[in-house]
Structure formats: structure tokens, C-alpha cells
């Protein structure tokens, strides 16, 4: 079985996220999504989420391409996750290009193009404009 892992916040789940998950799953048989916890998002990324970790986890678990959702609690856990889950391919959006090349000794590292016309940041900005 070929295992793939990706990481992210996946707040305000949208079709760009679905495109990423679908393309990631094409690299293997089993897709693991490491989902940033609320604490990690706030303490390390200074990012406030619209949905809680548990809500985002339920949304991801409902996506047919996702086989397992695990918590991402810190930046350093990637090496441990790749080893623990016997990951063959690590996938991220190309906005992270080169940032995870240190994993190439452990698995294949792939950076996929983002869906250009959509992002959670864009959605949040639109909601702010509308006063929501």
C-alpha cells in the first residue's frame, strides 16, 4: 500500500482544498491529512480559524479522498509522522516549494500547483467586506 501525507489548516474548506486532496490521493492508495490544531494555528502561525479543529476534522473525514486525519501540533513533527505512518509521498501546495526538501531522504516530496482562483484568505477577506 502506498501512503501519502499532506498538511494544512483546511479552514473554510473549498474546492481548491478538494483539488489538492484529490491530486494528493492520486500519488497513492491511502491519504493521511495532518490537520493543524487550533493551538498550533494560533500559537505558531498567528492564524485564527473560523471553524474549530473538531469541525474541520469532521469536514475532512467526509471527503472521499481522505483516509485518516491526524493532528498537526508543531512544525517539527513531519519527520516523525513520515516514519510513524510509513509514508511514501509527502505532498504540499507549491506555495511551500522547497520548504520540505529535508524529507527527501525519507520519502518522495511533491509540490502541487495551487488552484489559483480560490483561497481561504480570499474567502475571509470577502466575508470581512460583507461584515460577516
CA quadruple 95, 96, 101, 104: dihedral sign = negative
Is 45 among the residues known to form the active site? yes
Select from 46, 44, 21 the least CA-distant residue to 114.
21
Is 132 among the residues known to form the active site? no
Question: For residues 63 and 46, what is the distance between their CA atoms, to the nearest angstrom?
Answer: 27
| The one catalytic residue among 2, 25, 45, 84 | 45
| The one catalytic residue among 2, 22, 25, 47 | 47
Select from 35, 34, 52 the least CA-distant residue to 90.
34
Widest CA span in the chain: 47
Ramachandran angles phi, psi of 17, nearest 5°: -65, -45
Active-site annotation, residues: 45, 47
Amino acid at each position: 500500500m502506498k501512503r501519502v501525507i499532506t498538511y494544512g489548516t483546511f479552514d473554510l474548506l473549498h474546492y481548491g482544498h478538494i483539488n489538492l486532496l484529490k491530486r494528493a490521493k492520486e500519488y497513492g492508495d491511502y491519504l493521511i491529512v495532518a490537520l493543524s490544531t487550533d493551538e498550533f494555528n494560533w500559537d505558531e502561525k498567528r492564524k485564527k480559524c473560523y471553524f474549530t479543529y473538531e469541525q474541520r476534522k469532521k469536514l475532512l473525514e467526509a471527503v472521499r479522498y481522505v483516509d485518516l486525519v491526524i493532528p498537526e501540533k508543531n512544525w517539527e513533527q513531519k519527520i516523525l509522522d513520515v516514519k510513524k505512518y510509513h509514508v511514501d509521498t509527502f505532498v504540499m501546495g507549491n506555495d511551500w516549494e522547497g520548504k520540505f526538501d529535508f524529507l527527501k531522504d525519507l520519502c518522495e516530496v511533491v509540490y502541487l500547483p495551487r488552484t489559483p482562483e480560490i483561497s481561504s484568505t480570499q474567502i475571509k477577506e470577502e466575508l470581512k467586506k460583507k461584515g460577516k
